[in-house]
Amino acid sequence: MSDTSHPSAAPAPTEAAPSTTPLVFQVDFAGSRLAAHTFTVVSQADGFVHGTLFGNRPALVPLSEIPSSIKPFVGAKFMVCVIAPAARPVCSAARPDLVAALYAGVTPEVRSGSVRIMNVARAPGVRSKVAVAATREGVDPVAALVGREANRVLYVSRMLGGERIDVVPFNNDLTIFAKNAMAPAAVDAVEVDPSGKVLVFVQPHQMPAAVGGGGLNSHLAGDLLGYPVEVRALRS
């Protein structure tokens, strides 16, 4: 099961919109306390984009930490997370942490702890997969992150410049989790070989969706699982 937001539903990738609030709510993710900030570009030099965070606090973003979908012209605003705290912090617009922090800003269930973001796999500026789990009965973690009429997933997509977001349910059973992570493809069977590779079997007509353009879907699924994924077509 998966819910997906496509870039066509959000502004063009080159027009990443800033948050209406400069500091988004914090969230615990992967053992870190995260927050998303609006970064305003002031200048560019020596492989860094110089700018400010809320309150005109100076900050830096390495060019390598900016997805190609974001154009850092002077005055541009885009969302970042801090990766190296300092008087002039170093920030990133490309890390998976940013997706988790943005979701905390629009998802009360994440802030309250009733939904946990278990992992995020990201191809910055193109697509992310987010695995979620509920910590109490009666909560649908996927529905919480997608939102009514997909309003939450579309908001996060807009903040990331139109990046596609797939939200999938986490499961402690690797075979079930692998089927979820491969969405939108329908998976018939999953095996784990002795080397730790996850073998995913699909019907021949499902191969394009399972592999994805340039292998992106299977690659992100592997990042989400923590194991390499190999997709194989079932014989007729």
Give residue-wise pLDDT tens across range 88-124. Answer: 999 999 999 999 999 988 899 988 889 999 999 999 9
The string of pLDDT tens digits covering residues 8-66 is: 333 332 233 333 344 444 455 554 567 899 999 999 999 999 999 988 999 999 999 99
Q: What is the pLDDT of residue 193?
A: 87
pLDDT of residue 236: 67
What is the C-alpha to C-alpha distance for residues 118 and 52, in angstroms, rounded to an integer? 30
Number of residues written out for the chain: 236
DSSP line for 200-226: EEE-GGGHHHHH-GGGHHHHHHHHHHT
Domain 173-236 has CATH 3.40.605.10: no
* Whole-number percent of the chain with pLDDT over 70: 86
pLDDT at 14: 29
Please tell me the predicted confidence (pLDDT) of residue 28: 53
What does residue 158 show for φ and ψ, rounded to 5 degrees? -65, -40
Number of CB atoms found within 10 A of residue 215's CB? 13
130: left (phi over 0), alpha (psi -120 to 50) or beta: beta
pLDDT of residue 32: 54
pTM of the model as a whole = 0.84
Query: Minimal CA–CA distance to 86: which of 47, 57, 50?
Result: 57
Count the Cβ atoms, other than its own, within 10 Å of residue 8.
Answer: 8
At residue 29, the pLDDT reads 56
Confidence bin at 223 (pLDDT 50/70/90): very high
Q: Which helix (H) or strand (E) element contains residue 116?
A: strand 115-123
Mean pLDDT of 162-187: 95
Query: Residue 217 has which token pair?
Result: 């879907």
As a whole number, mean pLDDT of residues 208-215 equals 95
The domain spans of the chain are: 27-92, 173-236
In this structure, which amino acid lies at residue 35?
A
- Quote the DSSP letter at residue 74: T
Task: Provide the H-helix boundaries in the chain.
Answer: 96-106, 108-112, 141-146, 151-159, 174-181, 207-211, 216-225
Q: Which architecture, in CATH terms, is 27-92?
A: Beta Barrel (2.40)
Name the least confident of 26-40, 127-141, 211-225. Answer: 26-40
pLDDT band (50, 70, 90) for residue 4: very low
Of the listed ranges 19-23, 30-34, 174-178, 213-217, the one predicted with least confidence = 19-23
What does residue 181 show for φ and ψ, rounded to 5 degrees? -65, -25
* Mean pLDDT for all residues in the chain: 87
pLDDT score at 2 = 46
Single-letter code of the amino acid located at 209 = A
